[in-house]
Structure 1
Amino acid sequence: MASLLSLLNRLLPFATPGTPLLQDVIHLAVLAGLLYFAPQIQQRLQRNSSPDGRLQNEEPEPVALDSARNIPIRDQPQPQAENVGLNVERDGDVQAPLENELPANGAVQPEEEIIDEPGPADATRLPDGARQRNIGAKKAKSLARKDQRRAYHEFMRSQGVAQRERDAEGAAGREAALAAEQERRRAKEREVELRKANEREAKRIRDEAEREATSKRVELVLDVVREELEVRSMCNLFRVAQMAGDEVDVEWVEKILKTSGMIGRKGDTMTMITEMGWAVRVTAADMAELYHAALSQDLGNESGQIENEQLGKLLEELMAG
């Protein structure tokens, strides 16, 4: 018995081992009844909420139309018991119309002829606009979003068309302005190139003039120093720098002499520059005469050594003499 109750508690929905079996059975019956009667309850609630008493998805009843006038029968005006030009007696006799109700000329107007025109193929079917359908909130939001997107795209398209029209209107003027601007830039570039070319040409001419002037100064310095060394065996470089020009100094003259290869030893001849700015050329014969004069003048000290300063003065006297 206990195993059977345990099995029922497991099979019944929402059942727990702690609740009585009778409570679980009642719970099951209530749920089954709700599930069975739920569709009927939903239909009744929808019918009560609808203004015309129909369900949400229920089609409206077809309305019969008058084939002669295409007017719904229920909407046609009902004939009224009115006397139009005739008086009806109680016994059913019809009296003649009154004189004041007849036309002035005495002619009776004929009744309007009813033109028998063909009606629609399906007179009982309503137009599409007459059908109404209730839609849910989700569908309404979706349709609203579609309308917003459609309006947005239409607005952007109209803006693009307007922009293209404005661009087309000012295209000719902009092209002309652009062409003028390009021509102005090309003229400016040509002017800059011409100025640069003139500057390069002027610089080239100045450089050539400077090179020619420098070459002439170098030739002048070499000629003067070479001539004085051959004649006097010594040359004053300060005087040579003054002859070359105001921009020339002794250092530049010494550099030219060293670069030309005039300074140095060649065979038994030695050409050198002194600290006093003199270029001196000494030969082996000059040195022999210097040593002979130093020995004859007894220039040495007690130990027999001769100082360089004494030899320099003696050599200067020999070169000058």
Structure 2
Amino acid sequence: MLNVGSRRAGRARAKWRERAAGFGRAAGFLSLVWIAATLFAVRAARADLDEVMLGFGAETMHLAEARQQSAPTALSINGAELFVSSGMDDRALDAVLDVFEARCRASDGHLHAQLERAGETELAAGGWLDGTLREDDEDRGYVACLDLGPDDVEPSALLERVQRFVDTGDLAAIGELRYVFAERAAHGTHFVAYWTEGSFPISAMFPSEGDAPGRDVDGVARPPGSRRVLSARAGDEPYSLTVFTGASVGVDGLERFYRDALSSEGFRLLEPEALEGRAYESDGALGFVAERDGRMVTVVMVDDPDAGPTVEVLEASVDAFRTQE
């Protein structure tokens, strides 16, 4: 159990970095969304999914032909709500991405068509108003867009929306976020879809100073001198992820701090004997796995050259943690 926990945490960090690096032109906050939402993807498909997928966003993110797809799970990301659904499809990776790209282009305000009708073919061909982003290779890819609705949105109206976004910091002023990450599987394609429905105040979610909206993990101290940059929770699911940056002590000091803090709060540290009392180490990061009252907490500490000493706290129920082994 202990070695499994250590290996899982190491693999998770590697996947986070690999996937975040592959987002290309997607907005920077999507990397945080992916890190959080990947932890919460629902594992089991549920019956009567068509009755559950009620919102417009959920409908556009639903693959009726999929072998299986989970019902939407609401995520709280820094105080804002995002939805996630994962599934398996028998088709090839590019075919699955083609479906979502076509849906994005059907709700992009038809700006390209309007420019071409107006004779501005060169501007249309330049892609400056292309609201659909797609990057993929043989193994994985993504499609991202802002859903402007099914009707034409004239350029002047789009500029007004953009101005409202600048004034309010709310992405919904322009449109709804649609994002799909897919990767090739042994038999078909695995995909995870994220979308918003309503307000998504990016400026409030990611402040340049002070704590991001949300809350700390109960019973787990925050690093000294740090600020919270990510607080993610999955509805009623027993998962949460909290990230702190800018701690006033380095990884060695954080290791001592968390060993004392977790023990004083009644957590039992789960460590392989081979480590002789130290935290596990993976890819330059140190970490603890601790258990208390049916809760499993993983604390990962790393010296980030950009953000300073960083701590990631992942919380799950013991039962949910064990089902993933």
TM-score above 0.5 = no
TM-score by length of 2: 0.19
Structure 1 or 2: larger helix share?
1
Asked which structure has the greater RCO (Cα within 8 Å, sep 6+), the reply is: 2
Q: Which of 1 and 2 has greater Rg?
A: 1
TM-score by length of 1: 0.19
Structure 1 or 2: larger strand share?
2
